[in-house]
Amino acid sequence: MDTFKKLKKFYWPHRKYFFISLFFLFFVTGITVVYPIILQLTIDEVVAKERYSFIPYIAIGFLVLMFIKGISTYLHQYLGDLFGITTVFHVRNSLYKKLQILSFKYYDNAKTGDIMSRLTADVEGFRFFLSAGFAELIRIALLILMSLSVMFYYSIPLALVTMAAMPFLAIVVFKFDKRVHPAFRGIRKSFGRLNTRVQENISGMQTVKSLSREDFEIGRFSGSNDNYRQNYLKTSNIWAKYFPLMEFIGNFCAVALLAFGGYLVISSQMQPGELVAFFSLVWYIMGPLMNLGFVINQFSQAKASGERLLEILEGKEDIVEKENAINKPIKGHVTFDDVTLTYVEDDDEALKNISFDAPPGKVVGLIGATGSGKTSITQLITRFYEPEQGQVLVDGHPVSDYQIKALRKHIGFVLQESFLFSTTIRENIAYGNPNVTEEQIVDAAKRAQAHDFIMDMPNGYDTLLGERGMGLSGGQKQRIAIARAICINPSILVLDDATSAVDMETEFKIQQALKEVMKGRTSFIIAHRISSLKHADEILVLEEGKIVERGTHDELVENNGPYQRIYDIQYQDRDAIMNPSAV
């Protein structure tokens, strides 16, 4: 029960629904046990003694009981569902909130499909047991206790024989739980992998089709699907073995009771109606005990689901905000002091002893091969990761001293792969600043060279975009992302290969617009094109996580170093662009 204890904070505040539901369950169970008593009275007191005038009264009483039971059943089930649904409402909110808090390190190893599986199938599995499983366990206990009480009243010897069979069923149920829980955990894991496979395939469909790898993807999905099938078959095999055994024990007990009870009736130690009622009550015990297997089944699924939910809820928060963190406007003075970063323990260092100073308004260019550490520098400024060594300072304070939201709301990002939401263009541009005016949205779009193509669309700024900006070209998506960054009016601006998906003419126009945007702002430009960097106040050339060169465009071109080699590769006619002011 450790899993349920850890999740208690979600369901215990709503316990009133559960206990009121149990109150009505008591009526439902009590009336159920009354049925055999009515049957016994009908046989022994009405039929045997020919008191047929009592039949209308018994029928009316029976109808009244059924009406009460119907109302009680409705309230029991509704309140039970209300308990479960209300609980998982808060569980889902907490899971989603936790996913917003978890650092990039968590997402570096997490799979989208598996996370989706936890927020859907696992949450639902946990809800189902809260809504019905807990109550079913109590219903079984109540039904057994009430039935045994009546059975002892009718015949102590027969009741003792019934109780003798119960330990055998209990042992079988216990062994069943021991085997079925790991099996259900395997099902949940394989379902998460299956979801991941589907999610990755749909997200990468263009790549799959362009490389004609449909058959390969079908094979991979078939493998994951078969793994899910095998896990389910394993569980079904466990169930198929144990259920017949439980049924056999119950039926054997019923036959023994029928024989012994028949003897008691023949010897006048028991009335026929009492035997009939007793036999009905036996199935009120054996039936629930055999049904306990189904409840254990639900419990095991809920426990496996709860464990997977706790893996998220108890996930380590690597980026922790200090108690008295700073919340004040940021000017944008960025300093790296001997910073070293490693993403994975015992892996190669992503950054090694990085030091530089970028006062407000300075434009810093970052260039180097893929994996050289360009993006890592900007991710440390926003505190997406923590350095192993050294300090990253903003306005003279370590970034760890700031409130995380206060820090990040002053940093504007335009990433290489611009992510747009499936909503209107207006809402995408205003996403980082919900209070932005219509005039500011349009102005930001004009600066990002996006206004003209937006106005050419069917509904202009009210045009709905498809998932991930479907319907726009890569260059159009990047220009909307640039407009979004402009709208938050950041003190620090990060352009991570922001013009990589646009043509040379559009790149030139965007750069001209960004010159105005970058005035007074500390800007970091990550680029592979030298044309995007040559206006920077300082360019840092990185190789394998180290700064190997630094200086202005003109200085680096004359150094005959790594930058000059990149320059030669990109430009055949060096003299045409030697003077940056000519562009």
The C-alpha atoms of residue 426 and residue 454 are separated, in whole angstroms, by 10
pLDDT at residue 191 tops 90:
no
Q: Which 3-state string (H, E, C) describes 129-165?
A: HHHHHHHHHHHHHHHHHHHHHHHHHHCHHHHHHHHHH
Q: What is the mean pLDDT of residues 277-305?
A: 78
Q: What does each C-alpha distance from 331 to 346, 404, 496, 503 come to in angstroms?
A: 36, 16, 21, 33
pLDDT tens-place string over residues 425-478? 898 888 888 888 999 999 888 888 888 888 988 888 998 887 666 678 777 888
pLDDT of residue 577: 45
Q: What is the mean pLDDT of residues 530-552?
A: 89
pLDDT at residue 583 tops 50:
no
3-state SS assignment for residue 348: coil
CA dihedral 304, 307, 312, 316 (to 10 degrees): -150
pLDDT of residue 218: 83
Q: What is the CA radius of gyration of the chain?
A: 35
pLDDT tens-place string over residues 160-189? 877 777 777 777 777 776 777 677 778 877
* Residue 21 and residue 79 in contact, taking contact as beta carbons nearer than 8 Å: yes
Most confident of 216-220, 273-277, 336-340: 336-340
The C-alpha atoms of residue 533 and residue 29 are separated, in whole angstroms, by 78
Which of 3.40.50.300, 1.10.287.110, 3.30.470.10, 3.30.70.20 would CATH assign to domain 334-582? Answer: 3.40.50.300
Q: Where are the domains of the chain?
A: 2-313, 334-582
Query: Band of the pLDDT at 502, cuts 50, 70, 90?
Result: low
pLDDT tens-place string over residues 563-577? 888 888 777 544 544
CB neighbours of residue 20 within 10 Å: 16
User: 2-313 maps to which CATH number?
Assistant: 1.20.1560.10
Helix (H) or strand (E) holding 221: helix 214-266
Least confident residue range of 67-81, 254-268, 280-294, 389-403: 280-294
Most confident of 306-310, 343-347, 501-505, 529-533: 306-310
Q: What is the mean pLDDT of residues 402-407?
A: 88
Q: What is the mean pLDDT of residues 339-367?
A: 88
Q: Which residues contact 40 (CB under 8 A, 6 or more apart)?
A: 154, 271, 273, 274, 276, 277
Phi and psi dihedrals of 394, rounded to 5?
Answer: -125, 120
The pLDDT mean for the chain works out to: 83
The C-alpha atoms of residue 344 and residue 362 are separated, in whole angstroms, by 32
